[in-house]
């Protein structure tokens, strides 16, 4: 029995595909420091489980397809902190940011349509795009520019009759770049000129450093019809396993279309929505400690790596990733070697090869993505392991 072409050809996650090698290393007794995956070690706030434990309904019945109203109201209050006004009809709760991206793709584009994305980008966009039959058209952001948005001329050169949207992620995964209001306004003007949607993945909005403030596309006046924001509690409240996200727009047709897609899968998980209400009800200073912790880790990772002048990186402005250029030929060979052959005092480090974050062939081969989601002392050791490995690696 032959399975479908799409099942044969769907891309394996570059973030997860080396997992078998890591497991083998652990079986040999080697400690593996995971810098490869954005799984924070920060505790999920207790308010999340406390809210669920108080759940009293005797029948766990289907909820509304667009999500629990109480969760939407809690989100609306959260966004008021940023002076962003939303209405319940501007929000559909999704099963994770993943589903939110699929909803956004499906509502703006038909099979064969194109979406322009600044690369490097979160690799899973490719998976969702291929499932929705869309083509991702990359414009390349440069490390030297701190991975800020390429000039508009580059976006313009990628336009075709099938272009339907520009997808932006800020604070960015995998680069940590936080786009300025000015560059967002410019890309907004570009979208207006060419009648495109703007999809903004803002799941890392709470994680900005050195006093930098995240500017949301929801704050850009005059683009209410074009902006669709993808959101999630996974990183915000360290609740990746909850699978609670949201898609938000002030375009009524967009929200009606998304609601129909949402009805097709009946509803998002109920209890995890209840937990999310508890998290969103926390006072906003909850994030102060989390942000300080990530900033400390970022500083450690950058400080250690910069002691090797052949490691090229920009200090990230947000999120919890660094895209680092290393003195290597091929990130995947290096990542495999780290797991298969390298060890120092029976310890090694796992990284995500950079190539998987680029669509343009050949780009990112000498880069790796590093996530600073482990505690300071371990992170410092992991960074030093990486330097020791670079000294030894012949690739």
Residues within window 157-186 making contact with a second copy, judged by CB under 8 A = 164
- Contacts with a second copy, 61-80, as mask; x by CB under 8 A: xxx-x---------------
Three-state SS sequence of 278-330: HHHCCCCCHHHHHHHHHHHHHHHHHHHHCCCCCCECCCCCECCEEEEECCCCC
CB of 5 to a second copy, least distance (A): 5
Alpha-helix residue ranges (DSSP H) falling in 133-281: 152-157, 181-193, 252-264, 270-280
The tokens 């207790």 sit on which residue? Answer: 46
Which of 23, 160, 193, 263 contacts a second copy by CB under 8 A?
263
Please state whether beta strands 197-201 and 227-232 pair in parallel, antiparallel, or not at all (unpaired): parallel
Residues within window 92-151 making contact with a second copy, judged by CB under 8 A = 95-96, 98-99, 106-111, 113, 124, 127-128, 131, 133
**Count residues contacting a second copy (CB under 8 A)?**
75
Residue 226 · residue 92 · CB < 8 Å: no
Which is closer to a second copy, CB of 48 or CB of 342?
A: 48
Q: How far is CA 74 from CA 77, 81, 252, in A?
A: 5, 12, 21
Which is closer to a second copy, CB of 286 or CB of 393?
A: 286
Which of 70, 89, 219, 269 contacts a second copy by CB under 8 A?
269
Residue 311 · residue 325 · CB < 8 Å: yes
Which of 13, 140, 219, 340 contacts a second copy by CB under 8 A?
13
Residues within window 219-238 making contact with a second copy, judged by CB under 8 A = 225-226, 238
Nearest Cα neighbor of 175 from 272, 310, 312 is 312
Tell me, rounded to whole angstroms, the distance of Cα 223 from its chain centroid: 23
Residues within window 313-352 making contact with a second copy, judged by CB under 8 A = none
Which of 176, 188, 275, 316 contacts a second copy by CB under 8 A?
275
Residues within window 31-60 making contact with a second copy, judged by CB under 8 A = 37, 39-44, 48-49, 52-53, 55, 58-60
Which is closer to a second copy, CB of 220 or CB of 304?
A: 220
> How far is it, in rounded angstroms, from Cα 56 to Cα 236?
26
Contact between 202 and a second copy by CB under 8 A: the answer reads no
Count, residues in the chain: 395
Which is closer to a second copy, CB of 233 or CB of 304?
A: 233
Contact region for a second copy (CB under 8 A) — 179-187, 249-257, 281-289, 386-394?
A: 249-257
């Amino acid at each position: 029995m032959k399975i479908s072409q799409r099942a044969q050809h769907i891309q394996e996650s570059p973030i997860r595909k080396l997992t078998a090698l890591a497991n083998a290393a652990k079986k040999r007794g080697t400690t593996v420091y995971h810098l490869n995956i954005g799984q924070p070690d920060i505790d999920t706030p207790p308010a999340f489980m406390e809210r669920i434990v108080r759940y009293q309904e005797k029948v766990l019945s289907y909820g509304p397809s667009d999500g629990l109203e109480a969760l939407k109201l809690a989100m609306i209050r959260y966004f008021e902190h940023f002076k962003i006004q939303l209405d319940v009809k501007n929000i559909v709760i999704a099963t994770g940011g993943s589903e939110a991206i699929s909803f956004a793709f499906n509502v703006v584009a038909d099979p064969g349509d194109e979406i322009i994305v600044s690369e490097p980008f979160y690799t899973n966009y490719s998976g969702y795009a291929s499932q929705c039959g869309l083509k991702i058209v990359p414009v390349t952001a440069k490390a030297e520019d701190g991975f800020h948005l390429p000039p508009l001329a580059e976006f313009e050169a990628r336009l075709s009759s099938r272009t339907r949207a520009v997808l932006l992620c800020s604070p960015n995964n995998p680069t940590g770049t936080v786009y300025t209001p000015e560059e967002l306004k410019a890309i907004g003007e570009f979208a207006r000129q060419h009648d495109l949607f703007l999809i903004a993945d803002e799941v890392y909005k709470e994680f900005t450093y050195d006093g930098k403030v995240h500017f949301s596309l929801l704050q850009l006046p005059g683009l209410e019809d074009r902006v669709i924001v993808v959101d999630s509690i996974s990183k915000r409240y360290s609740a990746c396993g909850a699978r609670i996200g949201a898609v938000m727009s002030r375009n009524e047709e967009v929200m009606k279309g998304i609601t129909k897609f949402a009805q097709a899968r009946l509803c998002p998980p109920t209890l995890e929505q209840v937990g999310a209400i508890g998290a969103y009800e926390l006072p906003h200073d909850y994030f102060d400690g989390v942000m300080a912790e990530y900033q400390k880790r970022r500083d450690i990772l950058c400080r250690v790596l910069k002691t090797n002048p052949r490691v090229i990186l920009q200090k990230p402005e947000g999120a919890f990733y660094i895209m680092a250029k290393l003195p290597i030929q091929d990130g995947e060979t290096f990542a495999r070697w780290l797991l298969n052959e390298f060890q120092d005092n029976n310890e090694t480090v796992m990284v995500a090869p950079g190539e998987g974050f680029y669509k343009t062939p050949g780009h990112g081969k000498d880069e790796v993505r590093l996530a600073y989601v482990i505690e300071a002392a371990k992170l410092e050791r992991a960074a030093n392991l990486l330097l020791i490995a670079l000294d030894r690696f012949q690739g």
